[in-house]
Amino acid sequence: MVKVILYFQSPAKTSAPGKLAGVLEIAKRIGWHVQTIDEFPTQTRLRELVEFWHPLGAIVECGKESATVDARQFDMLPTVFFSHDQQTLPSGSFSVTHDSAETARLAARELLMTRFDTFAYLPHAEPHHWCTVRQKAFIAALKLNGKRCRVFAPHAVGDATKRQHELRLFLRGLPKPCALFAANDQTAAEAITAARFEEIAIPEALAVLGVDNYEPICEHTVPTLSSIEPDFRRGGNLAALMLLARFRAKEGYQGKRHHSFGPFRIVRRASTRLLVQTDKSVLEALDFIRREACNGLTSARVARLFPCSRRQADIRFRKATGHSILDEIHAVQLDRAKQLLKDPNIQLKAISDFCGFTNPNSLRKFFKRATGHSMRTWRAANRVAAR
């Protein structure tokens, strides 16, 4: 008999693919079939789905806020919710939440390293629990380090045009240089647009950092947007493992009913690249390396972006970043290898094909030299175990 788990998701959410991937990773080990449903069902619709699939349980991605889903209708089967605020769920519910406070603290650490004296926070256009949590944690982290934070508080609500106008005035009035943390990538993109119209140089006068690492936004702003990527896959792992624990314990479950997952990494792009000198060729090179490092990119190809000799190109690059072109290529390749190693379904010998190495042995030697660990050992230490 096929063991079915219903996964209710909102395709519009930037976190949806990562969370689902994390659920599928655990499901494959256990032998579950995960049936995705792209809707928040009514009680009648849910009963029909349960009668058709006979699922063991469900995992539900809540909407903008947990309250947008009527959690009580899922009482008919074991359920784990992805929520923004578990307080909005019925008492005793099982939930997984992104740790927005820890993400904000990471943003503060990152932006404090710019050595700027002025900091700002840009909330989302709509009031959200996670946005408020990020704002408070970011301000508290700055205060701990003796810094103040200016918060954008527009008068216009629900009017995107007026909000953009007020945002331009806000950015214009900020002492420069300023480091700005935005509630998510969408709001960060608003800031970049406003800064461009105000002719505020990014990142020299305004460094901008978002959250989600939603590439359709981050890769298409001008300049490209730096962003904190939450560990959505880990969140999916946690939801599936919690559901598994419920099945095993049945009515005797004594474990935690709420888990949280934090940030995975910072993807640094041009919006926070603070160079010793403004060097457009270096900025272009950094973006080019980030895109092509895992496609067999060489230092020579990167050097061609500079209107000078290869030796001078490397000197300019090293002066701006503190390391060589080849070091930057290797850093991107190493980051990619680590991401792939966290997926137990990818064979070790296949990883080199996705990292720009000609053969597995070359990658193994490089990885051991860079980390001090073999790829197998590193994978074992960083794997999420089904428990």
List the domain range (segments joined by +) for residue 30.
3-98+231-264
- What is the bridge-based pairing of β-strands 79-82 and 94-98? parallel
> How many helices and strands in the chain, by DSSP H and E?
15, 12
Q: Count CA within 13 A, CB hemisphere, residue 89.
A: 24
Beginning with the edge strand found earlier in the chain, give each strand of the sheet holding 226-230 in spatial order. 149-151, 118-122, 178-182, 206-211, 226-230, 263-267
Task: For residue range 184-238, list pLDDT tens digits in order.
Answer: 999 999 999 999 999 999 999 999 999 999 999 999 999 999 999 999 999 999 9
Residues 91, 105 within the same domain = no
CA–CA dist 365, 374 (Å, integer): 8
Indicate yes or no: pTM above 0.85: no
> Looking at the structure, do residues 201 and 320 belong to the same domain, yes or no?
no
The number of domains in the chain is: 3
**Closest to 268 measured CA to CA, from 107, 50, 91, 100:** 107
CATH number, domain of 108, equals 3.40.50.2300
In a shared domain, residues 112 and 223: yes
Name, in order, each residue with C-beta under 8 angstroms of 255's C-beta and a sequence gap of 6 or more. 242, 245, 249
Q: Is the pLDDT of residue 153 over 90?
A: yes
**pLDDT tens across 223-239, in order?**
999 999 999 999 999 99
- Does residue 274 lie in a domain region? no
Which segments of 62-111 are extended strands (E)?
Answer: 79-82, 94-98
**CATH at 341:** 1.10.10.60
